[in-house]
Amino acid sequence: MRRGRAAAQRGAAVVDFVLVLVVLVPLFLGLLQLALVLHVRNTLTAAASEGARYAATADQPVGAGAVRTREQIAGALAARFARGVSARTASVRGAPGVEVDVVAQVPPLGLWGPAVTLHVSGHAVEEQVP
Protein backbone atom coordinates (compact mmCIF):
# COMPACT_ATOMS: atom_id res chain seq x y z
CA MET A 1 0.00 0.00 0.00
CA ARG A 2 2.79 2.47 0.85
CA ARG A 3 4.62 1.77 -2.38
CA GLY A 4 1.53 2.43 -4.45
CA ARG A 5 0.91 5.77 -2.77
CA ALA A 6 4.56 6.86 -3.20
CA ALA A 7 4.48 5.92 -6.86
CA ALA A 8 1.28 7.96 -7.35
CA GLN A 9 2.94 11.03 -5.76
CA ARG A 10 5.99 10.86 -8.02
CA GLY A 11 6.31 14.07 -10.07
CA ALA A 12 3.81 16.00 -7.94
CA ALA A 13 6.56 18.30 -6.61
CA VAL A 14 7.38 19.49 -10.13
CA VAL A 15 3.74 20.29 -10.84
CA ASP A 16 3.38 22.15 -7.53
CA PHE A 17 6.57 24.09 -8.26
CA VAL A 18 5.32 25.19 -11.68
CA LEU A 19 1.91 26.20 -10.31
CA VAL A 20 3.52 28.34 -7.62
CA LEU A 21 5.92 29.94 -10.13
CA VAL A 22 3.05 30.91 -12.43
CA VAL A 23 1.72 33.09 -9.61
CA LEU A 24 4.96 34.30 -8.00
CA VAL A 25 7.00 35.35 -11.04
CA PRO A 26 4.48 37.91 -12.38
CA LEU A 27 3.91 39.19 -8.85
CA PHE A 28 7.65 39.62 -8.30
CA LEU A 29 8.13 41.33 -11.69
CA GLY A 30 5.22 43.67 -10.96
CA LEU A 31 6.71 44.70 -7.62
CA LEU A 32 10.10 45.20 -9.23
CA GLN A 33 8.54 47.36 -11.97
CA LEU A 34 6.72 49.45 -9.36
CA ALA A 35 9.96 49.97 -7.43
CA LEU A 36 11.77 51.01 -10.62
CA VAL A 37 9.06 53.50 -11.61
CA LEU A 38 8.96 55.04 -8.13
CA HIS A 39 12.76 55.34 -8.03
CA VAL A 40 12.89 57.00 -11.45
CA ARG A 41 10.00 59.34 -10.58
CA ASN A 42 11.59 60.46 -7.32
CA THR A 43 14.96 60.99 -8.99
CA LEU A 44 13.44 62.99 -11.85
CA THR A 45 11.48 65.14 -9.39
CA ALA A 46 14.59 65.88 -7.35
CA ALA A 47 16.58 66.74 -10.48
CA ALA A 48 13.82 69.04 -11.79
CA SER A 49 13.61 70.84 -8.45
CA GLU A 50 17.39 71.24 -8.33
CA GLY A 51 17.44 72.61 -11.88
CA ALA A 52 14.66 75.09 -11.10
CA ARG A 53 16.46 76.30 -7.98
CA TYR A 54 19.68 76.68 -9.96
CA ALA A 55 17.98 78.67 -12.73
CA ALA A 56 16.19 80.86 -10.18
CA THR A 57 19.42 82.17 -8.68
CA ALA A 58 20.54 85.66 -9.66
CA ASP A 59 22.43 86.06 -12.95
CA GLN A 60 21.46 82.61 -14.27
CA PRO A 61 19.52 82.19 -17.51
CA VAL A 62 16.43 79.96 -17.54
CA GLY A 63 18.14 77.49 -19.88
CA ALA A 64 20.77 76.81 -17.23
CA GLY A 65 18.10 75.02 -15.21
CA ALA A 66 17.46 72.57 -18.03
CA VAL A 67 21.19 71.93 -18.43
CA ARG A 68 21.59 71.36 -14.69
CA THR A 69 18.60 69.00 -14.66
CA ARG A 70 20.02 66.96 -17.56
CA GLU A 71 23.35 66.66 -15.74
CA GLN A 72 21.62 65.50 -12.56
CA ILE A 73 19.53 62.90 -14.39
CA ALA A 74 22.46 61.59 -16.43
CA GLY A 75 24.54 61.25 -13.28
CA ALA A 76 21.86 59.50 -11.24
CA LEU A 77 20.04 57.37 -13.84
CA ALA A 78 20.95 57.49 -17.54
CA ALA A 79 21.12 60.17 -20.22
CA ARG A 80 18.13 58.67 -22.07
CA PHE A 81 15.83 59.80 -19.25
CA ALA A 82 17.02 63.40 -19.76
CA ARG A 83 15.82 63.81 -23.36
CA GLY A 84 12.54 65.52 -22.48
CA VAL A 85 13.78 68.35 -20.24
CA SER A 86 12.53 71.90 -20.74
CA ALA A 87 12.70 75.07 -18.65
CA ARG A 88 10.61 78.24 -18.79
CA THR A 89 9.68 81.23 -16.70
CA ALA A 90 6.50 80.77 -14.73
CA SER A 91 4.48 82.28 -11.95
CA VAL A 92 4.95 80.47 -8.66
CA ARG A 93 2.02 81.48 -6.44
CA GLY A 94 2.03 84.95 -7.90
CA ALA A 95 5.79 85.48 -7.74
CA PRO A 96 8.12 85.33 -10.74
CA GLY A 97 9.81 81.98 -10.95
CA VAL A 98 11.20 79.14 -13.03
CA GLU A 99 9.58 75.84 -13.94
CA VAL A 100 11.54 72.83 -15.19
CA ASP A 101 9.53 70.03 -16.81
CA VAL A 102 10.78 66.49 -17.40
CA VAL A 103 9.02 63.87 -19.52
CA ALA A 104 10.56 60.39 -19.57
CA GLN A 105 9.53 56.83 -20.35
CA VAL A 106 10.39 53.96 -18.04
CA PRO A 107 10.64 50.70 -20.02
CA PRO A 108 8.80 47.59 -18.82
CA LEU A 109 10.81 44.91 -17.02
CA GLY A 110 8.90 41.95 -18.38
CA LEU A 111 8.55 40.82 -21.96
CA TRP A 112 5.18 42.49 -22.34
CA GLY A 113 3.45 45.65 -21.30
CA PRO A 114 3.68 49.30 -22.25
CA ALA A 115 6.34 51.69 -21.04
CA VAL A 116 5.32 54.05 -18.25
CA THR A 117 5.42 57.75 -19.19
CA LEU A 118 6.34 60.07 -16.33
CA HIS A 119 5.80 63.84 -16.33
CA VAL A 120 7.30 65.72 -13.39
CA SER A 121 8.15 69.36 -12.79
CA GLY A 122 10.10 71.47 -10.37
CA HIS A 123 9.39 75.09 -9.41
CA ALA A 124 11.42 77.80 -7.76
CA VAL A 125 10.86 81.48 -7.05
CA GLU A 126 13.40 83.74 -8.75
CA GLU A 127 15.99 85.36 -6.57
CA GLN A 128 15.62 89.14 -6.53
CA VAL A 129 18.72 91.32 -6.46
CA PRO A 130 18.21 94.25 -4.07
Q: Is residue 35 part of a domain?
A: yes
Q: How many domains, in total, are found in the chain?
A: 1
Model pLDDT for residues 86-123, shown as the tens digit of each residue: 999 999 999 999 999 999 999 887 666 788 999 999 99
Q: Which helix (H) or strand (E) holds 85?
A: strand 84-92
For residue range 24-78, what is the model confidence (pLDDT) as tens digits?
998 998 898 889 999 999 999 999 999 999 999 988 999 999 999 999 999 999 9
* Residue 2: predicted pLDDT: 57
* Higher per-residue confidence, 129 vs 46: 46
Domain range for 28 is 2-125
Does residue 130 lie in a domain region?
A: no
CA distance linking residue 94 with residue 89, whole number of Å: 12
In this structure, the dihedral spanned by the alpha carbons of residues 69, 71, 72 and 75, taken in order and rounded to 10 degrees, is: 160
